[in-house]
Amino acid sequence: MSVFTSVSVQELQYWLQGYAIGDLLELKGISSGITNTNYFVITTQNRYVLTLFEHNAMDELPYYIDLMSHLAAHGVPCPQPVHNQSGVSLHMLNGKPAVLMSCLSGRDVDTPNTAQCAEVGKHLAKMHIAGQSFKQPTHPNPRDAIWRRQTAEKVLPHLTMEDQQLLADTLTFQATLDLAALPKGVIHADLFRDNVLFNDDQIGGLIDFYYACEDVLAYDLAIAVNDWCVHEDGSLDASRLEAMLQAYQQVRPFVEAEHAAWYALLRIAALRFWLSRLYDKLFPQDGELTHAKDPDHFKNILKLRAALK
């Protein structure tokens, strides 16, 4: 969500000629995040978010666009693609695929409370259920066990001996996991605090679905728990954890295999984000406004999750 590809007001005005959304009043870059370019677009009719995709080819993107349309139609509060007068939502802009989306109400929270964690759990479960009827071709997780192993090989030479051992131990653990019995479906895969908008304690929207894919549903919840239900040192906050798990399972109860795999999923979720943050730090992408996140935070979480039994 950083600005890697610049767009001027004049360029956007030309691009928007096929849209019936009023006159452009303001264009403002969004600085948080590290993957795509995002702008707030304000017109005489409404407020929107413009996304330019830095790593996705045009033919990769209909899955995400169609998924958001499907989820919104099934009551999940998420951005809806805006179509031009020809019924098309994806177009090239300054050499990058781009889409205009509805802008949801609310703001992200830095310090979530138990009520907000419960809301996240409830809406994530609703999203998982709504995703079961999404009939697009399967989209496997691009950051799966293979990606984690390959990325580990790239970052390993840059780590201390202690961190190399932590990484090696976790990859060995990952290789022993058999998750075949766990329910799978559409997951968000990145439902961190900055990807949920709140109006007080009520969710205004889930955003940034561009890591969405097919994977283990409980893994998606583990990703959320590792961000929403932790103290500053990465240790789990019991009250927020209980609130999120209970709210989720009131909508979609765990099967026995999910209970048995829960600690393993927390550990693998921590590995995934330690690796991605390490990679982004070691091999940064140029951008006008960038916000690389500290990999040590997830290294600490990984150590703590490895100790859970």
Strand partners, 37: 52
pLDDT at 285: 74
Burial 115-146 (b: 16+ CB within 10 A, else e): ebbbbbbbbbbbbbbbbeebeeeebebebebe
Residue 210 DSSP label: T
Q: Is the pLDDT of residue 305 over 80?
A: yes
Residues 98-148: tens digit of each pLDDT: 999 999 999 999 999 999 999 999 999 999 999 999 988 889 999 999 999
Q: What is the DSSP letter of 95?
A: T
Cβ distance 63 to 139 under 8 Å?
A: yes
pTM of the model: 0.91
Kindly state the greatest CA–CA separation across the chain: 58
What per-residue confidence (pLDDT) applies to 289?
Answer: 45
Q: Which of 44, 50, 55, 45 is nearest to 28 (CA)?
A: 50
The string of pLDDT tens digits covering residues 141-187 is 999 999 999 999 999 999 999 999 999 999 999 999 999 999 999 99
Q: If you search the block for the tokens 């859970």, which residue do you land on?
A: 308
Instruction: Give the confidence band of 4 by pLDDT, cuts at 50, 70, 90.
Output: confident
Q: Domains, the chain, ranges and CATH?
A: 9-102 (3.30.200.20), 114-306 (3.90.1200.10)
Tokens of 40: 């707030």
- Of the candidates 47, 42, 49, the one whose C-alpha atom is nearest the C-alpha of residue 1 is 49
